[in-house]
């Protein structure tokens, strides 16, 4: 798709909402002009905030070009609207009021929500979660898949005679997804393979080869190349998702706090009924959670009392 066509598809679907506010620009360089009106780096940043999610993984250069074209057509449409004197009247004023309200919302979100979630806080949560992970063993294995037990036994015999397992897999395995890699399946943990295959693989030591194993796919001969404790994902791998989750959580908490301070009336009867039902369900869920926490605390206290009484009972004996 040509750059212009891609831009046009995005521009038609984008809403004039979600403009980022309060961003500091080190250099507001002019990148283009339309009838004497400058389009700057700051304008591109605003366009990125508006339509960036719709551009996918475009190369950086192409992405900037699309943003520039978006701003050019934005200016051209605005100038055409001015010529037709569309910048006044009740409908236009309502739109302007809505866009101002949305810009204020975004400015508050940037300053109070996003700016308060830093990488250090995300890293602290990451490290805490990593400490809580239970060790999980993985094996790295190859396999040869054949259609009969006799064929599988022949493969085992040839491996035991000294033939290379990976080469045998390339020449004989029926698994098209792994045969070109010498039957390599990579690392996997429990629950990722069919039960018969998993049981056989995890029973092997590093370097060992299994007897024929049957599954719904056929007959397997398995060789375990390595065993290890599954490493946790690196911080860089999960950073964006973690920060996004933290931002969403904080936004929800702030929304609850702001709603608690506000007087909100639902005038539409149907919407009012739905809101009341949701509020009732939420209150019931909170009450259930509170009771569960109280029961758990009482059980823990009772167990602690029982444990502390045992030494005294032993002494009396």
Structure token pair of residue 224: 């375990």
Domain map of the chain by residue range? 3-88, 137-229
pLDDT given at position 314: 53
DSSP bridge pairs for 37: 34
- Evaluate whether 223 touches 209 at the Cβ level (below 8 Å): yes
Tens digit of pLDDT for each residue in 36-61? Answer: 999 999 999 999 988 988 988 889 99
In the chain the first and final C-alpha atoms are separated, in Å, by 87
CATH of the domain spanning 137-229:
3.10.50.40
pLDDT surpassing 90 at residue 10: no
pLDDT given at position 289: 84
233: confidence class by pLDDT, cuts 50, 70, 90: confident
Tell me how crowded residue 309 is: count the other CB atoms within 10 A of its CB.
10
Span 265-289, average pLDDT:
90
In degrees, rounded to 5, the angle at the alpha carbon of residue 259 between the alpha carbons of residues 256 and 261 is 115
């Amino acid at each position: 798709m040509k750059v212009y066509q891609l831009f046009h598809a995005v521009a038609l679907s984008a809403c004039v909402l979600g403009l980022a506010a309060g961003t500091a620009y080190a250099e507001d360089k002019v990148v283009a002009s339309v009838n004497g009106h400058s389009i700057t780096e700051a304008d591109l940043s605003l366009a990125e905030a508006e339509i960036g999610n719709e551009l996918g993984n475009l190369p950086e250069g192409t992405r900037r070009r699309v943003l520039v074209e978006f701003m050019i057509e934005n200016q051209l449409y605005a100038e055409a609207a001015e010529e037709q004197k569309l910048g006044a009247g009740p409908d236009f004023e309502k739109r302007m009021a809505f866009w101002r309200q949305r810009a204020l919302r975004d400015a508050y979100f940037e300053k109070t929500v996003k700016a308060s979630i830093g990488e250090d806080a995300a890293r602290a949560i990451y490290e805490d979660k990593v400490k809580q992970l239970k060790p999980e063993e993985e094996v790295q294995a190859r396999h040869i898949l054949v259609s009969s037990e006799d064929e599988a036994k022949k493969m085992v015999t040839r491996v035991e005679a000294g033939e290379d397992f990976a080469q045998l897999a390339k020449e004989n395995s029926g698994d098209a997804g792994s045969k070109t890699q010498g039957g390599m399946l990579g690392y996997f943990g429990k629950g990722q393979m069919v039960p018969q295959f998993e049981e056989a693989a995890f029973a092997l030591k590093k370097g060992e080869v299994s007897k024929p194993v049957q599954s719904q796919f056929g007959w397997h001969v398995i060789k375990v190349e390595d065993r290890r404790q599954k490493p946790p994902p690196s911080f860089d791998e999960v950073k964006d998702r973690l920060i996004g989750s933290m931002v969403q959580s904080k936004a929800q908490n702030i929304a609850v706090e702001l709603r608690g301070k506000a007087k909100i009336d639902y005038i539409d009867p149907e919407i009012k009924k739905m809101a009341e039902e949701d509020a009732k369900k939420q209150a019931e869920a909170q009450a259930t959670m509170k009771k569960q926490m109280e029961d758990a605390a009482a059980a823990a206290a009772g167990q602690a009392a029982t444990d502390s009484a045992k030494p005294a009972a032993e002494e009396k004996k």
